[in-house]
Homo-oligomer: A and B are copies of this chain.
């Protein structure tokens, strides 16, 4: 494969160019990443996109995106809390969360009742239907996580998780 090894016939890299041709189209086009190799963000993003893609596919039957999942999980684990609390915890913008909750309410998974102690805020709860659905969703999410572990290697995943978690 090395350009300097003239393997007799197979004159693929006969000239300086050495472009792959014909059959080897799809795979053999890899370029030099150059300084991208030194950027954590680059690889971080690639992996994150791949993982989210798997998540979305795995949960396609419920049409739940990662952000929605995180909101559902947070409401389930912290019932009665306000949108502001969820928003701050997940770094989701207030405006966006409001719209997302409209959708989750439309699906009858989430209930908003006005908080007892603060007339401005809403207490968020899962409806019984929401709880039931979330249980199924969590099973799929667990399956996704298993697939992710296969994809990146179980121990690498564990190491990554340990490293990443030290933020918040």
CB nearest to A27 among chain B residues: B88
17 A-B pairs within 8 Å (CB atoms) are namely A12-B117, A29-B84, A31-B85, A32-B74, A34-B74, A35-B73, A36-B73, A37-B165, A41-B51, A41-B66, A41-B148, A42-B70, A44-B164, A152-B167, A156-B166, A160-B160, A163-B163
Query: A112 on the interface (CB 8 Å rule)?
Result: no
Query: A161 on the interface (CB 8 Å rule)?
Result: yes
**A85 and B29 within 8 A (CB):** yes
Contacting residues of chain A (11-34) with chain B, CB-CB under 8 angstroms: 12, 17, 19, 26, 29-34
Number of interface residues of A (CB under 8 A): 66
Query: A40 on the interface (CB 8 Å rule)?
Result: yes
Interface string of A116-139 (1 = CB under 8 A from B): 110100000000000000000010
Those 6 A-B pairs whose CB atoms lie nearest each other, nearest first: A34-B77, A43-B164, A41-B51, A31-B78, A44-B48, A32-B77
Say what secondary structure dominates the interface of chain A.
helix
Chain B residues, CB < 8 A from A51: 40-41, 44
**A148 and B47 within 8 A (CB):** no
Chain B residues, CB < 8 A from A165: 37, 43
Known: A2-B117, A164-B47. A157 touches B40 (CB 8 A): yes
